[in-house]
Amino acid sequence: MGIDGNTILGAKPEKSIGLKYIGMRNEQAACYAAQAIGYLTGKPGVCLGVSGPGMLHCIGGMANAQVNCWPLLVIAGSCAEDHEGIGGFQEWPQVDSSRMYCKYAARPPSARLIPLHVEKAVRLASAGRPGVSYLDMPGTLLMSEVEEDKVPLDFYSAEPVSLGHPNPALVEQAAKLLTEAQRPLIIVGKGAAYGRAEDAIRKLVNTTKIPFLPTPMGKGVVEDESSLCVSAARTQALLKADAILLLGARLNWMLHFGQPPRFAPDVKIIQVDISPEEFHNSVKSEVAVHSDISPFVEQLTNKLAEKKFSMVPSNNNWWKTLSEKQKANAAFVKAQAENTSVPLNYYAVFKTIQDNIPKDSVIVSEGANTMDIGRGMLLNNQPRHRLDAGTFGTMGGYYIYGVKVGPGFAIAAAMWCRDYAPGKRVVCVEGDSAFGFSGMELETMFRYKLPVVVIIVNNNGIYSGLDKETFKELQDGGDPTQMTPPTSLSGEVHYEKMMEMFNETGYLCRTTDEIKDALKKAMATTDKPSLINILIDPQSNRKPQTFNWLTESKL
- Please report the DSSP string for 3-18 in residue order: TSEEEEEPPPTTT--S
Alpha helix stretches (DSSP H) within 188-275: 190-194, 198-208, 234-240
- Window from 213-217, 260-264, 485-489, 532-536 with minimum mean pLDDT: 485-489
Mean pLDDT of the residues in the chain: 91
Q: Which residue has the higher pLDDT, 541 or 303?
A: 303
Res. 233 pLDDT band, cuts 50 70 90: very high
250 CB contacts (<8 Å, ≥6 apart)?
189, 191, 273, 278, 281, 391
Q: Residue 507: is its pLDDT beyond 70?
A: yes
Query: Per-residue pLDDT averaged across 151-172, rounded?
Result: 84
Q: What is the pLDDT of residue 199?
A: 98
Least confident of 55-64, 398-407, 413-422, 427-436: 398-407
Residue 202: CB atoms within 10 A of its CB come to: 19
For residue 146, pLDDT over 80 is answered with: yes
Q: Is the pLDDT of residue 247 over 90?
A: yes
Predicted local confidence at residue 402, as pLDDT: 47
Alpha carbon distance 225, 246 (integer Å)? 21
* pLDDT per position as a tens digit, 382-410: 999 999 987 877 765 444 444 578 999 99
Q: What pLDDT does residue 2 have? A: 35
Interval 328-339: pLDDT, tens:
999 999 999 999
CA distances in angstroms from 30 to 60, 99, 146, 291, listed in the order given? 11, 20, 31, 32
Count the Cβ atoms, other than its own, within 10 Å of residue 483: 14
Indicate whether 206 pLDDT > 50. Answer: yes
3-state secondary structure of 525: coil
Q: Which range among 178-182, 288-292, 435-439 shows the weakest confidence by mean pLDDT?
A: 435-439
Tell whether omega for the bond before 451 is within 30 degrees of 0, i.e. cis.
Answer: no
pLDDT at residue number 464: 87
Model confidence at 314: pLDDT above 70: yes
Domains of the chain: 15-150 (3.40.50.970), 168-325 (3.40.50.1220), 339-542 (3.40.50.970)
- Distance (Å, whole) CA 98 – CA 102: 6
- Tell me what percent of the residues of the chain surpass a pLDDT of 90: 77
Q: What is the model's pLDDT at position 547?
A: 64
- The predicted pLDDT at position 544 comes to 67
Pairing of strands 132-138, 461-462: unpaired
**CA–CA dist 219, 201 (Å, integer):** 12
Question: What is residue 400's predicted lDDT score, i.e. its pLDDT?
Answer: 40
Residue 159: its pLDDT value, please?
72
Average pLDDT over residues 454-481: 89
CA distance 528 to 111: 41
pLDDT class for 356, splitting at 50, 70, 90? very high
Residue 154 or 328, more confident: 328
- Which range (79-93, 300-314, 395-409) has the least confidence? 395-409
| Residue 16 pLDDT grade (very low, low, confident, very high; cuts 50, 70, 90) | low
> Given pLDDT bands bounded at 50, 70 and 90, which one contains residue 541?
confident
Band (pLDDT 50/70/90 cuts) for residue 546 is low
**Terminal C-alpha separation, the chain:** 44
What residue type is 250 in one-letter code?
R
